[in-house]
Structure 1
Amino acid sequence: MNALIDPFGRRIEYVRLSVTDRCDLRCDYCMPKGFRDFQEPDDWLRFDEIERVIGAFARLGVSRVRLTGGEPLVRRDLPELAARLARLPGVDDLSLSTNATRLNKHAQALREAGVSRLNVSLDTLRAERFKQITGGKLEKVLAGLMAAKAAGFAPVKINMVVMRGVNDDEVEDMVAFCLEHDFTLRFIETMPMGKTGRSASSRYLDLQTVRARLGERYELLPGVMPGGGPARYVQVAGTPLRIGFITPISQHFCETCNRVRLSVDGTLYMCLGQEERFELRPLLRAGASDAELEAAVREAITLKPERHEFREEPGKIVRFMSMTGG
């Protein structure tokens, strides 16, 4: 049997693949402003190495792959890599998480390469607030979103990290924006990852309060969406809009976790909130065979922990979100 089953009986069928730890924005809950301690490109997995690792996962039953970063579109020739991964037998769902600042240029090429779905990080619709949160320009993101629509991406999911006293007054505005443009909306709780995440903990907002607030304004029906992620969805009655809630703190979803993360340097992380990892780059560069690579992946999965401990030990994880691939 090829399926990857972890020690707690969960089937692993989803890999989040970081193609770079670099980003052209500086969202302060993810990466510190002025941060420069990035991986050196010599340490990054090359396209052929990435293809071999994802090929091994695919032979072991993984069907979903998400390209992440940092910001994946800062990696040169990303559409070429996407096309190579989309052609791998067994990879049925290739998606991309992006901040969309470069999507205006690359949307059509990504669509033609085989990327089927997009997640776009967007925490505010106010230009000045966007600059304060990210250091970037909102108009670039909006142009990227419109390019994605024009290229035929569907669904396009908007990911909004809701922060108390920062952007929680824009929840209804984001709902209206997604209704207007036929986007899917997902609200995300902040997580205490690294110094940046812990410094943002005072802005943590339990999304159950957001859902209750929306329920007073809209009729919310149970909803579902395709994809391998952890969001719990509702649908706004009388519209196609689905709203997802990603709640790693208030309602963790560890018991159904089906994913691992591969960082740009070839490190497999078994859990966003734990330190268990497995280094694949040394094996790749030592000439490991496909069978040896598959055996290493199987061994790595045995390290997957039962759950994170964000509540119990919020200071446990010192790496930044951008290092792990989100």
Structure 2
Amino acid sequence: MLIDAYGRVIDYLRISLTQRCNFRCQYCMPESGVELGEHENMLSHEEMFEFVKICIDNGIKKVRISGGEPLVRKGAEDFIAMIFAYAPHIDLAMTTNGYFLKSKAQVLKNAGLKRLNISLDTLGNEKFKQIARRDGLEQVLGGIEAAKSEGLGIKLNTVAIKGFNDDEFDALMSFAAANNAQIRFIEYMENKHANPELKSMRAEDILSKIATFKNFKEITKHPQSPSRLFACDDGYIFGLINPHQCDFCTTC
């Protein structure tokens, strides 16, 4: 059993398959991308799997695959299949921008993946191209549909940016509900790679905007989850991730 300095049992492992990404999102990296490590320094799937086995044997119950964009790495589904074959009970999840999901959803489901967190900051084509610096909304929406058809659990991650997508919160929430997905609004975290002109929205700003079209109340969240949860009068539940909150790291 793994226990951290806060006395919490560690049962969740996150693995970054790659630093590479096919998008250049303004809140994440410059248009030129970020400096990548040498290819020969990357662990192979087999090397990572040896570590994963040790973690599972010591109490890990959930594994999340992330990146960069994990699906730009060849054979991501093979790595998932290795884990699933070793421990079918493990909760296997992936964080992705959704671009490759339309062709990969069935393969990932068959490999043992159970859940997806998919980035979706806007439903507008021009806005999408502006924030991601790539054209890809149609592919992402197709990927969400494919994942839903395969019965994969879906959460949508929306970075809240003042003056950019705060006028779409209602539409994004409606889209998520229509696709049986929980949407989670995320405070934008300023960083050295991001466009300095982006304007962050704090938790109270996000909730105030949502309150203009939804009645909701906060409900109990999992103590180790970074997401605060809110239940709307119509029964829909959405999340809020606010890393600017002072206790974020101790509860994440």
Q: Normalized against structure 1, the TM-score is what?
A: 0.72
Counterpart of 1:254 in structure 2 is 249
CA offset at residue 213 of structure 1?
A: 2.9
Q: Is residue 2:220 matched to residue 1:220?
A: no
Alignment partners' CA distance in 1, 2:223 and 2:90: 11
Q: Is residue 2:238 matched to residue 1:243?
A: yes
What are the within-5 Å matches in structure 2 for residues 165-204 of structure 1?
Answer: 165-193=163-191, 195-197=192-194, 199=196, 203-204=199-200
- Contact 2:26–2:195 (CA<8 Å) still a contact in 1? no
Counterpart of 1:14 in structure 2 is 12
1:205-258 CA distance string (max 9 Å, x none): 11222213323422214456889641111122224x32100000035422223x
More divergent stretch after superposition (86-95 vs 223-232): 223-232
- Contact 2:225–2:251 (CA<8 Å) still a contact in 1? no
CA offset at residue 90 of structure 1?
A: 8.2
- Contact 2:186–2:240 (CA<8 Å) still a contact in 1? yes
- Contact 1:15–1:66 (CA<8 Å) still a contact in 2? yes
- Contact 2:98–2:140 (CA<8 Å) still a contact in 1? yes
Alignment partners' CA distance in 1, 2:185 and 2:246: 13
Counterpart of 2:138 in structure 1 is 139
Query: 3-state SS of the aligned residue for 1:196?
Result: coil
Task: Calculate the aligned-residue CA RMSD, in Å.
Answer: 2.1
1:11-55 CA distance string (max 9 Å, x none): 222111100100000001112111252123221110111111111
- Contact 1:124–1:170 (CA<8 Å) still a contact in 2? yes
Counterpart of 1:234 in structure 2 is 230
- Contact 1:101–1:144 (CA<8 Å) still a contact in 2? yes
Counterpart of 1:262 in structure 2 is none
Q: 1:103 to 1:227 in 2, by over 3 A?
A: farther
Higher relative contact order (CA 8 A, sep 6+): 1
Gaps spanning 5+ residues in structure 2: where?
none
1:185-214 CA distance string (max 9 Å, x none): 000011133x124826x5111122221332
Counterpart of 1:209 in structure 2 is 205
Q: 1:90 to 1:80 in 2, by over 3 A?
A: closer
What are the within-5 Å matches in structure 2 for residues 67-216 of structure 1?
Answer: 67-89=65-87, 92-136=90-134, 137-154=136-153, 156-193=154-191, 195-197=192-194, 199=196, 203-216=199-212
1:240-292 CA distance string (max 9 Å, x none): x32100000035422223xxxxxxxxxxxxxxxxxxxxxxxxxxxxxxxxxxx
Alignment partners' CA distance in 2, 1:114 and 1:58: 16
1:211 corresponds to which letter in structure 2?
Answer: L
Alignment partners' CA distance in 2, 1:90 and 1:5: 23
Aligned length: 251
Counterpart of 1:45 in structure 2 is 43
- Contact 1:10–1:256 (CA<8 Å) still a contact in 2? no
Q: Percent of aligned pairs with the same residue?
A: 35
Gaps spanning 5+ residues in structure 1: where?
258-326
What are the within-5 Å matches in structure 2 for residues 19-30 of structure 1?
Answer: 19-30=17-28
- Contact 1:64–1:228 (CA<8 Å) still a contact in 2? no
Q: 1:67 to 1:111 in 2, by over 3 A?
A: same
Q: Normalized against structure 2, the TM-score is what?
A: 0.92
Alignment partners' CA distance in 1, 2:91 and 2:214: 32
- Contact 1:13–1:63 (CA<8 Å) still a contact in 2? yes
Alignment partners' CA distance in 1, 2:179 and 2:221: 17
1:74-114 CA distance string (max 9 Å, x none): 01011111011123338621100000100001000101111
1:108-155 CA distance string (max 9 Å, x none): 01011111000000111110010011022211111111111111112x
More divergent stretch after superposition (165-174 vs 30-39): 30-39
Alignment partners' CA distance in 1, 2:251 and 2:38: 34
